[in-house]
Amino acid sequence: MAGAVQGRPYRSARRAEAAGDTRARILAAGMRLFIEKGYGLVTVNDIAREAGVAVPTVYSSAGGKTALLATIIEEAVRDPVVEQTLAAVRRARDPREVIDVTAHGTRADNERYHDIIQVNRTAAAVDESAAEILDTSNRAYRQSLAVAAARLREMGALREHLTDERATDLLWFYFGHQPWHTLVAEAGWTWDEAEHWLREQAAAALLKPR
């Protein structure tokens, strides 16, 4: 009897681990298909087949198609690089360091998640749920950029008449999703080239001349 009781936590842990593995497999399958086929053309049946699970398992483990996209985008928003970048911004003692850290951090996140972000942006044009997911992630992105704007203001480094809100707008203009996509995906720049150019332009637009 004691052995049976002692075995329950182990079995529960194994079940939880298996459920986590299944969910990760479903999320990975969803991401692959969204990128390859486009959000609108993917069905839950497609995701189940790609992940090697039954359709009800997709719903019970990760939700429907909208929930899958929301989870994938949320992972991008919560990527460790985001908090690492914010921590570095708060520690920065030089205005150029704030710009440099913000440029590199947003580059890393956009480089890693570029394809799925574009899936979300394309889907948002025709799907209300996808539009809500994009709006939520964009607000979180701008809130992170607002931390950099506030740090520059604390340093007294912003150009005259630039408010925190306007500085955040400029950071979004230079480091939001669109500039990275335009320079890298559309213009064919390397990520290094894009990072260097955007960093210099942002510094010129935001910082007082030394």
Q: What is the pLDDT, as a whole number, of residue 119? A: 92
Task: Tell me the average pLDDT across 119-124.
Answer: 92
Are 186 and 122 found together in one domain?
yes
> The tokens of 27 are what?
């999320």
| pLDDT computed for residue 12 by the predictor | 62
Q: Is the domain of 87 the same as that of 20?
A: no
Residue 197 and residue 101 in one domain = yes
Give the span between the Cα atoms of 71 and 127, in whole angstroms. 16
> What's the whole-number average pLDDT of the chain?
92
Q: Are residues 56 and 147 in the same domain?
A: no
One-letter amino acid of 42: V
Percent of the chain residues past pLDDT 90, beyond the cut: 80
- Domain of 29: which CATH number? 1.10.10.60
pLDDT of the residue at 9: 64
80 and 178 in a single domain? The answer is yes
Cβ contact 148:133 at 8 Å: no
Q: What's the predicted TM-score (pTM) here?
A: 0.84
How many CA atoms are closer than 13 Å to the CA of 151, on its beta-carbon side?
24
Q: Residue 48: inside a domain, yes or no? A: yes
Banded model confidence at residue 189, pLDDT cuts 50, 70, 90: very high
Q: State the pLDDT confidence band at 63, using cuts at 50, 70 and 90.
A: confident
Which distant-in-sequence residues (6+ apart) come within 8 Å of 122 by Cβ?
38, 39
Considering the domain architecture, whether residues 52 and 110 belong to the same structural domain is answered as no
Q: Are 99 and 207 in contact (CB under 8 A)?
A: yes
**Total domains present in the chain:** 2
Backbone angles phi, psi at 158, to 5 degrees: -75, 145
198/131 same-domain check: yes
Average pLDDT score over residue span 19-25: 84
Same domain, 17 and 78: no
Residue 13 has a pLDDT of 60
SS3 207: strand
Residue in 202, 181, 205 with CA at minimum distance from that of residue 100:
202
Quick one: pLDDT at residue 10? 55
Residues 190 and 111 in one domain: yes
Which residues span the domain enclosing 34?
Answer: 2-63
Same domain assignment for residues 90 and 53: no
State the Cα–Cα distance between residues 52 and 117, nearest whole angstrom: 25
